[in-house]
A and B are shown apart, each in its own frame.
Chain A
Amino acid sequence: MSPRAPAWRKRRRNRRVAGWLVDILIAAFALGPILWGLSTSFKPPQAILAYPPEFVPSQPTLEHYALLFRTGIHRFVLNSVIVSAISVALALALGSLAAYALARLSFRGRSTLMFGTVALMSIPLPSVLVPTFMLLANIDLTNSLIGLALLYTAYQLPIVVWMLYGYFRSLPIELEHAAMIDGCSRLRTLRKIVLPLSGPGLVAAGLFVLTFAWNDFVVAVVMVSTEEAKTLPVAIYGYLGFYGRDWGPLTAAAMLSIVPVIAVFIAFQRYFLSGMTGGGVKG
């Protein structure tokens, strides 16, 4: 009555199967709605609510996308691109300066400043919406893409500083010492040595800002009311009323807002995997 496989082998197999099941469950939970939306966005209107539902559209169509572009969605996409690009550039530029100062310079109040930066991250965003609106209104930057980009930068700067601080600290300090002895000022050392070696850190921090700026709805809906400065998420919300329960254009618009972020993530994923510092210092 001996079992065909030893007990430990069986246990290992069971554990693996259980692991796969959990993975599939999580994937279905996270990706299911998105894939369903993707499928719906390509279905002709009469097939959308058909029963039984089709998972892969039998007669795929681009008519919903065409409708969106006829009604001018590209302006909102462009607005989102502009706001996101400015936010990412600004947050990384200011964040890397602040993070480098915190990581490598010694000055009075450094740890207080660091603590303050971390503490800022714990303030819930909605609680500052009204004051920031007043502030923005006072300097006449509501309904402007610049105003939005400045706000996104301000909201995301603490996390950017925190992430880059950690990354800069992990670089071998001898490289910076060598650069300074070779004749570089602090700023030049940052530009020539630290930043080029911080690719993964910059990408990770940049993606944080990008996803926030690209996806943000709450801030944009409060700060912006004119068509000219609407970003994509606010525009999509507008479609909800405009087209009633018209699922086709709605899912197509949602896809337009999801796909670029996923594309950027895929494009930069290798930076998460590979470090650039190999071979420079030994030991």
Chain B
Amino acid sequence: MSSVTFSGVSKHYGDAIALDRLDLAIDAGEFVALLGPSGSGKTTTLNLLAGLIEADEGEIRIGDRIVNDVTPDKRDIAMVFQNYALYPHMTVFENLEFPLQARDGRIAAAEVERRVGKVAGTLGLGELLHRYPKELSGGQQQRVALGRAMIRDPHVFLLDEPLSNLDARLRIRMRRDIKALHKAIGSTIVYVTHDQAEAMSLADRIAVFAGGKLQQFATPAELYGNPTNLFVAGFVGEREPAFLTGSFDLHDGRLRFASDDAALALPIAEARHLAHLVARRVVLCVRAEALRVERDGPGVPAIVSDVELYGAEAIVYARLEQGAELPCRAEASAGFKPGEGIRLTAIAARLTAFDPDTQRALTRWP
């Protein structure tokens, strides 16, 4: 396993900037997710690391070696493609042994047999070795693709949206398998995905990309708790938060937030990290889990406009008197119904504020 370092790496296609001066240092053995919407530069980053495209500027290192001018076959990496890219004219066995044969044509047959057997055992492919890729289900193809990457002991594993072609349940199961795999082999893994849940559940650290720029590189908890800008705040998390543009003032020992269409009040003791923002225009990021819904109490009054059930929990859409509609997380068993009057209390610790012009975070929660 090796570390991976990008220093000032850029990639242009004509006038379009695919990647803008990327600096990223991945530790050896780390599981890093590259997260972002399509066209954000995450796949460009992966392809640059694989050597499938060339950087216009900057330096890419795998371990201590600068690899800018090293062809993919000499970088000692392994990659799992979104569409698996299994060789259709070869059996599962031949697919698995291909990386061994390609690197060393004189490798002993017994050694090939042993290593294919080991990988097939790990991934449960033993029964399928003589099938062709088109005779396999999606999940099996996925495992063969993983196996082909595992068969050698590469410096770095690259995974390009490896789960996006699987159905939802299988995807969640494969997530655990991939995580277990990382624990077992301890390799450096770079994992591209547009699914924030996948990134959050798998990665040690996540690099969030947008518009060809790295937005933030941090642990999942840090990313969620302290998004560095509005984009990250909006992209990370189960659902898009509500963004309210307004300002705070102090009143009766409470911190009040008011915008054109919303008003919230927070006990000052909980909201210390927001206190320095009084009398300043901010964008407040309100996640569904930052609002508590109650039938009565001191909160701001609102009306339930819609309820979405998700098993044990529900998302309650609360319309404030001023007009804003905020999604809030609630227990499904509480049984809120559309049209019902409720009280909303903001959990101050879960609120983050951003500068409306620079879009950068103004709050920092330890």
Chain A residues in the interface with B (C-beta under 8 A): 172, 174-175, 177-185, 188, 192-193, 196-197, 276-283
Contact = CB atoms under 8 A, between A and B. Distances in A.
Given A177-B50, A282-B138, A283-B83, A188 B102 contact: yes
A279 B52 contact: no
A180 B50 CA distance: 10
* 3 cross-chain pairs, A with B, having the tightest CB-CB distances, nearest first: A279-B134, A280-B88, A183-B102
A233 B81 CA distance: 53
6 contacts: A177-B85, A184-B102, A185-B73, A280-B85, A280-B134, A281-B86
B52 A182 contact: no
Contact of B81 (A178, A184, A196, A277): A178
A195 to B, nearest CB: 10
Given A177-B52, A180-B73, A282 B89 contact: no
Given A180-B71, A181-B50, A280-B133, 4 more contacts: A181-B52, A183-B103, A184-B73, A282-B83
Contact of B79 (A181, A184, A196): A181
Count class of interface residues, chain B = 20 to 34
B267 interface: no
B248 interface: no
B98 interface: yes
A276 B72 CA distance: 26
Contacts of A282: 83-84, 138, 141, 165
Contacts of B71: 180, 185
B87 A280 contact: yes
Interface in B324-354: none
Contacts of A196: 89
A178 B79 contact: yes
A181 B78 contact: yes
Interface in B79-106: 79, 81-89, 98-99, 102-103
B135 interface: yes
A174 B85 contact: yes
B315 interface: no
A57 to B, nearest CB: 47
A108 to B, nearest CB: 15
B148 interface: yes
Contacts of A178: 79, 81, 85, 87, 148
Given A172-B85, A283-B165, A182 B99 contact: yes
Given A177-B50, A177-B52, A279-B133, A183 B85 contact: no
B132 interface: yes
Contacts of B158: 181
A184 B72 CA distance: 9
A216 to B, nearest CB: 34
Interface in B145-193: 148, 158, 165
A166 B50 CA distance: 26
Contacts of B285: none
B77 interface: yes
Nearest to B141: A282
B50 A175 contact: no
Contacts of A182: 73, 78, 98-99, 102-103, 148
